[in-house]
């Protein structure tokens, strides 16, 4: 006979098992478990067993997906010819594979690309989740610098986000001397880590003062007179330009800077430029062209049309450089911020003109910019036929785009190199003479 004490223990165990079943957290997969709709899960607490990538980072929430989301313009073949079929298919898939998580996090501690596993959340609405505790992230550490060949020249092409000597105006009115110092410091730390032979810069103030300020800081950090910049003799003006900084012991700049616009009053005169460089150890030469095309502000059609005007001017400039042998060399490397993704008309027009897209050749999943949780490569590298044979490797160094903007110089929260700009730098290794 079972005594009363033992019977009570058995009854208690049964009750606990029943309660556990009632309150057990259901395990689900995303998006598979939600194919038939969200109604069965709204108001419930579930555990999502599918690993989820952080694709976007906002003040009060994270955007999650089973894989990194890419802008449709990066992968929608046919888009440049007016076929938007793939564009809308990718757009639809991105929306279907997106979750918004409200949680207790410090945004500047999380980068896009971090992963959440076995996330327990409450479903408050279709695609909207809440968790009280701060999630634990995997893959949240900074990515290492890409391994680049050591037997050639290293070029770093990077947007440095309105780097101005003069404050106010286009430099953005909130910029202060302290913000300027922090911006300079973050750029220098990143450049020291990159250790390139040539830096091709977008969004630097027109004139000599801004590049001189940056070179002085880089030389101070290197503790020797290591770097110089290419001067075109421009006066300081409240507009962005492109420019070159280089290691004097590795290369020399030669010839006169060539511009894509003849009209010096047009600010794109300073945003489409080309310069000759010679490797001192080998005597080999090449032409380095920097472009910063019109931004995407305004309607898509309007901004694309203006970028195409930029591209038309660029191709005329490149034809002139080749036909007139301006730099005594036909090896041309094109870099910069094109404000266009791989399948958009400006990029495809350059490719069809005979310049190989080196980013696509290297890695079609590359990205240098994250916008509204979608990644894409606005910063690109092209090469003439002969130059393409001399490019050893192209890689994006993810030190900026994955990080919340509060880590930038404006907020003063972070004195590391991360988020020195809103675009990631692209590293290009070239072995000159390898035809």
How confident is the model over 48-69, as a mean pLDDT?
93
- Percentage of residues in the chain having pLDDT higher than 70: 93
Domains in the chain: ranges and CATH? 7-130 (no CATH), 153-430 (3.60.10.10)
Least confident span in 249-263, 308-322, 398-412: 398-412
How confident is the model over 7-25, as a mean pLDDT?
49
The predicted pLDDT at position 15 comes to 41
Choose among 183, 207, 144, 198: nearest CA to 381: 198
Q: What is the pLDDT of residues 195-239, one digit of tens each?
A: 999 999 999 999 999 999 999 999 999 999 999 999 988 888 888
| 309-345: burial string, b at 16+ Cβ within 10 Å, e else | ebbebbbebbeebeeeebbebebbbbbbbbbbbbbbb
Q: Considering the chain, what is the average pLDDT of its residues?
A: 90
Least confident span in 52-56, 115-119, 165-169, 386-390: 165-169
The predicted pLDDT at position 398 comes to 97
The predicted pLDDT at position 26 comes to 94
How confident is the model over 242-262, as a mean pLDDT?
95
| Distance between CA atoms of residues 316 and 313, nearest Å | 5
How confident is the model over 268-295, as a mean pLDDT?
95
| Distance between CA atoms of residues 74 and 344, nearest Å | 8
3-state secondary structure the chain: CCCHHHHHHHHHHHHHHHHHHHHCCEEECCCHHHCCCCCCCCCCEEEECCCEEEEEECCCEEEEECCCCECHHHHCCCHHHCCCHHHHHHHHHHHHCCEEEECCCCHHHCECCCEECCEEEEEEECCEEECCCCCCCECCCCCCCCCCCCCCEEEEEEEEEEECCCCCHHHCCCCCHHHHHHHHHHHHHHHHHHCCCEEEEEEEEECCHHHHHHHHHHHHHHCCCCEEECCCCCCCEEEEEEEEEEECCCEEEEEEEEECCCCCCCHHHHCEEEEEEEECCCCCEEEEEEEECCCCCCCHHHHHHHHHHHHHHHHHHHHHHHHCCCCCCCCEEEEEECCCCCCCHHHHHHHHCCCEEHHHHHCCCCCCEEECCEEECCEEEEECHHHHCCEEEEEECCCCCCECHHHCCCCCCCCCCCCCCCCCCEEEEECCCCC
How many other C-beta atoms lie within 10 A of the C-beta of residue 209? 15
- Percentage of residues in the chain having pLDDT higher than 90: 75
Q: What is the pLDDT of residues 88-114, one digit of tens each?
A: 999 999 999 999 999 887 777 889 999
Q: What is the pLDDT of residues 181-199, one digit of tens each?
A: 999 999 999 999 999 999 9
The predicted pLDDT at position 389 comes to 96
Q: What is the pLDDT of residues 59-70, one digit of tens each?
A: 778 999 999 999
| Distance between CA atoms of residues 93 and 66, nearest Å | 12
Q: At residue 411, does pLDDT exceed 80?
A: no
The predicted pLDDT at position 263 comes to 79
Neighbour-count burial of 267, counting CB atoms closer than 10 A to its CB (0-12 exposed, 13-18 middle, 19+ buried): middle
Q: At residue 300, does pLDDT exceed 90?
A: no
Q: At residue 9, does pLDDT exceed 70?
A: no
């Amino acid at each position: 006979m079972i005594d009363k004490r033992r019977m009570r223990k058995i009854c208690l165990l049964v009750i606990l098992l029943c309660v556990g079943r009632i309150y057990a957290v259901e395990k689900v997969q995303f998006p598979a478990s939600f194919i038939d709709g969200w109604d069965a899960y709204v108001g419930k607490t579930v555990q999502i067993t599918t690993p989820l990538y952080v694709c976007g980072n906002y003040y009060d929430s994270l955007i999650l997906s089973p894989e990194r989301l890419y802008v449709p313009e990066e992968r929608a073949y046919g888009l440049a010819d007016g076929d938007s079929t793939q564009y809308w298919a990718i757009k639809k898939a991105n929306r279907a594979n997106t979750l918004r998580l409200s949680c207790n996090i410090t945004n500047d501690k999380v980068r896009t690309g971090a992963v959440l596993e076995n996330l327990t959340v409450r479903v408050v609405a279709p695609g909207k989740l809440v968790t009280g505790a701060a999630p634990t992230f995997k893959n949240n550490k900074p990515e290492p610098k890409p391994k680049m060949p050591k037997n050639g020249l290293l070029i770093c092409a990077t947007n440095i986000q309105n780097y101005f000597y003069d404050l106010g105006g286009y430099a953005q009115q909130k910029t202060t001397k302290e913000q300027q110092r922090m911006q300079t410091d973050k750029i220098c730390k990143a450049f020291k880590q990159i250790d390139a032979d040539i830096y091709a810069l977008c969004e630097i103030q027109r004139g000599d003062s801004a590049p001189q300020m940056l070179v002085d800081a880089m030389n101070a950090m290197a503790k020797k007179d290591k770097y110089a910049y290419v001067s075109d003799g421009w006066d300081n003006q409240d507009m962005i330009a492109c420019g070159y900084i280089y290691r004097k012991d590795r290369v020399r700049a030669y010839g006169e800077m060539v511009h894509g616009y003849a009209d010096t009053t047009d600010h794109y005169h300073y945003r489409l430029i080309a310069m000759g460089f010679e490797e001192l150890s080998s005597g080999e030469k090449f032409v380095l062209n920097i472009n910063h095309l019109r931004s995407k502000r305004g309607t898509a059609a309007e901004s694309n049309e203006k970028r195409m005007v930029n591209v038309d001017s660029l191709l005329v400039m490149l034809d002139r450089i080749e036909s007139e042998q301006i730099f005594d060399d036909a090896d041309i490397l094109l870099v910069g911020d094109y404000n266009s993704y791989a399948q958009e008309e400006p990029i495809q027009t350059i490719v069809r003109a005979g310049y190989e897209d080196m980013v696509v050749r290297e890695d079609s999943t590359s990205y240098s910019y994250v916008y509204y949780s979608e990644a894409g490569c606005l910063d690109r590298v092209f090469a003439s036929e002969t130059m393409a044979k001399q490019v050893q490797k192209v890689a994006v160094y993810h030190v900026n785009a994955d990080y919340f903007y509060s880590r930038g110089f404006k907020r003063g929260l972070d004195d590391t190199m991360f988020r020195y700009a809103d675009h990631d730098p692209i590293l290009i290794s070239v072995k000159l003479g390898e035809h």
